[in-house]
Amino acid sequence: EVKLVESGGRLVQPGGSLKLSCAGSGFTFDDYMIGWFRQAPGKEREGISCASLGENIIYYDDSVKGRFTVSSDSAKTIMYLEMNNLKPEDTAVYYCAVGRGLLVTPTHLGLNDIQHWGQGTQVTVSN
């Protein structure tokens, strides 16, 4: 069974750091394009990064560029989102997903033909 399980979300102070994990089972991340999304309260889900790990191609939304980093373990079974210098506006439920293609436009990042979503993990940035 193909499954994505996320972990690592919690309450953190502004300026702090977190590292989210997305563990895949039943596949490796080389099999798909990968993406990280988030949904803040009252807002639509937005893509913040999408990548082809096999080709070492990673895109970041301007809102997180320079602060967030996508990586994986050597076996390509766990995907990470390292978040630094967190801001209150980063508060959201964060989701990982895998799909068949990358979606990159001047205003949006995402995946085409999404195959699987993680369950989401809450990140709250607040004093």
- Residue 127 belongs to what H/E stretch? none
- DSSP per residue over 34-84, as a string? EEEEEE-TTS--EEEEEEETTTTEEEE-TTTTTTEEEEE-TTS-EEEEEE-
Q: Three-state DSSP class for 25?
A: strand
Per-residue pLDDT of the chain in tens (127 residues, 90 and over written 9): 889 999 999 999 999 999 999 999 998 888 899 999 999 999 999 999 999 988 889 999 999 999 999 999 988 899 999 999 999 999 999 999 999 999 999 989 999 999 999 999 999 999 9
